[in-house]
Structure 1
Amino acid sequence: MKPGISIQMLLAVVAVLASSAALAQNDDFDSVEIIPHHVRGNVYYLEGRGGNIGVSLGENGVVLVDDQFAPLTDKIVAAVESISDADIRFVINTHVHGDHVGGNENLAARGVSVIAHDNVRLRLTQASSPIAARPVLTFPDSAMIQLDDEVIEIIKVPPAHTDGDSYVFFRNSDVLHLGDVFRTTGYGFIDTNNGGSAAGTIAALQLAIDLAGPDTIILPGHGMLSNADDVREFMDVIIEVEQRVSALIEQEMTLEQVLAAQPTADLDERWGDPERFLTGLYNSIAGM
């Protein structure tokens, strides 16, 4: 083992590689359709396979937020071309997972600059991803792109879903992309192997609520367009389950015992299968 490389860091590398490989192997990308949806102003999003792709259109260029999987790049580019004559100039990664950064290398080969938080580049480097797939523009706290009529603010948030999470706020259009810190498709996921945390998730969701105005449209990492009230509901569920799981941990329950206790039984009809959520929550609270 090289000096400075911890067991947890190696686990994170394995998690990035394994999740990306599993998703890629289990998907029939030929059947995937990339569908553009107008959000507001210059902002669209692309629905496909993987995280929602934010799109900001301008006469002098297009900015993407995330890029799903590598086999979908040509379809993603074609979808952008169906709504704009401008070239894609930048892609912003909201975090490190393969269903959000899988197209980096392909887009870089087309001359697109990849932007992300420092930790996204660090995680991709640790995972031995191709150099071209790694962000070439990184930042520690925040960054801004001012292109045509849109001001695009990239905001680092506390370690939540991962330790490289960023929000992307299309200020003029009043659209806020939250990446996988927020989703409408079920419980959240706290990826402790990649630096995520329960406390950071709650803090990041509160930040999203504070950033959003009464008319702000929220674009989740997965799922439907939302608003600040939807984010608050999602956060309240996490706070409630965090309290329940903390109480069970205080009773010295193992993860297996917590899962068997079904602490989310009254919530699962609304939010779905809780196992992955509870596992991440337990590991974060227990410091594992």
Structure 2
Amino acid sequence: MPLSALNQQTKRKPIANLLALTVLASMTLSGQSFADDKFKDVTITSKQLTDTTFMFTGSGGNIGVSAGTDGILIIDDQFAPLAEKITASLNNIQPGLPKYIVNTHYHGDHTGGNAHFGEKGTILAHHNVLKRLASDSNTPKSALPVITYTDNISIHFNQDTLDVIHLGPGHTDGDSVVHWQNANVIHMGDLYFKDRFPYIDLDGGGSVLGYRDNVAIILDRIDDKTQIIPGHGDLANKTELLKFKHMLDDSINWMKSEKTQGKTLAQIKKMGVPEEYKLWSWAFINGDKWIETLYKGL
């Protein structure tokens, strides 16, 4: 995430390690020694999905990995101080640094490692990711996407085709999902927070309705055997993503009804979210924050 937005939004979304939120506002993309200390106990965990695809978890957005005869490609790279740990985990799979880095959007818990990995690899992202990262003069050149696209781009790598797809404003205005055609794996970026209310960055070009509609498009694209890497949370399947979509639908319909009745934001917050969705609240996007997002975004 560009540092210019950090003062407004300490909205980096690590579910597994919320301690990172307390230091994010003062971090640079290259990291600082005190920030390194905050991440010293983070472990990068690897889960193998197919012969050549993996999911890494740590602190920040989940990482997708393609590793094989063509080399290594990663999708997102978490926080800057974790770059060496991510590199070590990649080397446990096979030696070498990533040839390609795909950013699903611009937020710092997904692009913090860009400066490190961009020294040797090529970063790809939607045009708006480049625009937002480049708007901060503190962003090093190596952290900027080199290849950008308007809608879609395909990467032919490790005997598979990875379709990188931009669906329009949702979580931000520069979201991409990445779908392995043969492996039948999809990385959703922050268009999916598993079993949690999502963060929709309205100030970063996000859209409540666009978010819901983009999830619907992905549901039509995948099947019951697709393995889904969420931006945050455990590996998921189509049934679990459909549950998330139903929550979005119900939340949108509920908020539209409350606003039609003329209720104020304060009145709706006092009511709280519908009972069936209270457990979707979490430390970063609690019920009040979700209500505020819906109210402002609809």
**TM-score normalized by structure 1?**
0.89
Distance in 1, Cα, partners of 2:4 & 2:195:
26
By how many angstroms is 1:20 displaced? Answer: 7.3
Q: Tell me the SS of whatever aligns to 1:218.
A: strand
Distance in 1, Cα, partners of 2:136 & 2:67:
32
Q: Tell me the SS of whatever aligns to 1:32.
A: coil
Match of 2:109 in 1: 99
Distance 1:17 1:88, change over 3 A: farther
Match of 2:126 in 1: 117
Contact 1:16–1:98 under 8 Å retained in 2? no
Structure 2 residue runs of 5 or longer lacking an equivalent are: 13-19, 25-34
Q: Tell me the SS of whatever aligns to 1:143.
A: strand
Match of 1:147 in 2: 157
Structure 1 residue runs of 5 or longer lacking an equivalent are: 1-9
Distance in 2, Cα, partners of 1:165 & 1:80:
25
- Counterparts of 1:235-250 in structure 2 under 5 Å? 235-250=245-260
Distance in 1, Cα, partners of 2:11 & 2:143:
13
By how many angstroms is 1:17 displaced? Answer: 7.5
By how many angstroms is 1:264 displaced? Answer: 2.7
Match of 2:23 in 1: 25
Distance in 2, Cα, partners of 1:112 & 1:16:
30
Q: Tell me the SS of whatever aligns to 1:31.
A: coil
- Counterparts of 1:34-183 in structure 2 under 5 Å? 34-109=44-119, 111-128=120-137, 129-183=139-193
Alignment RMSD (CA, Å): 2.1
Distance in 1, Cα, partners of 2:218 & 2:51:
20
| Percent of aligned pairs with the same amino acid | 31
Match of 2:292 in 1: 279
By how many angstroms is 1:62 displaced? Answer: 0.5
Match of 1:5 in 2: none
* Code of the aligned partner of 1:126: S
* Code of the aligned partner of 1:248: E
Contact 2:195–2:244 under 8 Å retained in 1? no
Match of 1:14 in 2: 5
Distance in 2, Cα, partners of 1:244 & 1:77:
45
Contact 1:19–1:98 under 8 Å retained in 2? no
* Code of the aligned partner of 2:127: D
Which digits, 9 at most, give the CA deviation of each residue in 1:113-157, with x for residues without a partner? 111001111111223333321111100000111123121110001
Does 2:239 align with 1:229?
A: yes
Q: Tell me the SS of whatever aligns to 2:118.
A: helix
* Deviates further, 24-33 or 176-185: 24-33
Contact 1:14–1:127 under 8 Å retained in 2? no
Distance in 1, Cα, partners of 2:156 & 2:279:
43
Contact 1:185–1:271 under 8 Å retained in 2? no
- Counterparts of 1:176-215 in structure 2 under 5 Å? 176-215=186-225
Distance 1:98 1:144, change over 3 A: same
Distance in 1, Cα, partners of 2:249 & 2:71:
40
By how many angstroms is 1:280 displaced? Answer: 1.8
By how many angstroms is 1:158 displaced? Answer: 2.4
By how many angstroms is 1:212 displaced? Answer: 0.4
By how many angstroms is 1:189 displaced? Answer: 1.6
**TM-score normalized by structure 2?**
0.86
Which digits, 9 at most, give the CA deviation of each residue in 1:60-107, with x for residues without a partner? 210100000000000000000001124310110001111000110111
By how many angstroms is 1:256 displaced? Answer: 2.6
* Code of the aligned partner of 1:118: H
* Code of the aligned partner of 2:154: M
